[in-house]
Amino acid sequence: MNFLHDYYNIVTLPILVWCNLLHMQACYDAPRDPDPLTMFSLTRISNSWTFDLIWWVFLFYIGVDTLWLLIFPRSVVAPVPILIHHAILLAAWFTIFFWPGYEFYMSASLLIEINTWFLIAKRQAVRGSILHTLLLCGDHVSWMVVRVLGLPCMNFNGYCIWRFLTNSFHSKLGYNLLNHLNSGLFVFAAGSAITVQNAFWTRDKYLKVEIEITSVSKKL
């Protein structure tokens, strides 16, 4: 099942990434927002069919993957953290119904699946081969760009969205502490949780190797 699960991701993730890039291109081509929230933001709403495409494609992908892990948890090394990660993603995916402006940010967050593909594909390549070396380089580069640098930027965007929506409610309804309890707070909290989870994964990915090398050196 581990083998089949890997190949499910190897086949479906390129389709997901391609649909997502189509949507991000549509956002890039759309007129600029009069009130961009941060320096990292492009146009938030594409007014394009490409968002419907990526929304349904991702929902199908993550739904099947989550169901797979629930039925066959041994398909991955650590199913519980991944299922928690999927639960957060699924909940966040429906926030588009609270504010259309989430469109771009939801799509930008899917850039992480580029790294997921390299991460999984390298396991199926023969160690020491040229293909394995290329996939390994792709994994490390995309991990640093998307996860280590990109996720904190996206989380900062989440914080800015929370403030933006809170101020919008203040201007329309008057100042009220309950105005802080909007969907932006959930997006920021979910983004913080995923960023922290990814920090632990980064620690395990890189520091674990150094710890093992140090341990062997001490024994020698």
Q: How many angstroms separate the CA atoms of 93 and 59, rounded?
A: 8
Q: In degrees, to the nearest 5, what angle opens at C-alpha 85 toward C-alphas 114 and 118?
A: 20
pLDDT digits (tens, 9 = 90+) for 118-166: 999 998 898 889 999 999 999 999 999 999 999 998 899 889 889 989 9
Entry pTM: 0.85
Are 115 and 205 within 8 A, CB to CB?
no
Question: What pLDDT band is residue 211 in, cutting at 50, 70 and 90?
Answer: very low
Looking at residue 42, its pLDDT comes to: 62
More confident residue, 52 or 40: 52
- Lowest-pLDDT range, 14-23, 27-36, 71-80, 185-194? 27-36
Percent of the chain exceeding pLDDT 90 equals: 49
pLDDT digits (tens, 9 = 90+) for 66-102: 999 999 888 888 889 889 889 988 888 999 899 888 8
Are 45 and 29 within 8 A, CB to CB?
no
Give the residue-averaged pLDDT of 169-180: 88
Looking at residue 39, its pLDDT comes to: 60
Task: From 117, 122, 125, 121, select the one nearest 146 (Cα to Cα).
Answer: 117
Tokens of 1: 């099942």
Write down the mean pLDDT value for the chain. Answer: 87
- b/e string for 147-175 if b means 16 or more Cβ within 10 A? beebbeebbbbbbbbbebbbeebeeeeee
Are 33 and 47 within 8 A, CB to CB?
no
pLDDT at 217 over 80: no
Looking at residue 70, its pLDDT comes to: 92
Looking at residue 77, its pLDDT comes to: 82
Looking at residue 17, its pLDDT comes to: 96
What's the distance, CA 140 to chain centroid? 16
pLDDT at 186 over 50: yes
Give the residue-averaged pLDDT of 39-64: 87
Name residues whose C-beta falls within 8 Å of residue 202's C-beta, 6 or more positions apart in sequence.
143, 147, 148
Are 67 and 82 within 8 A, CB to CB?
no
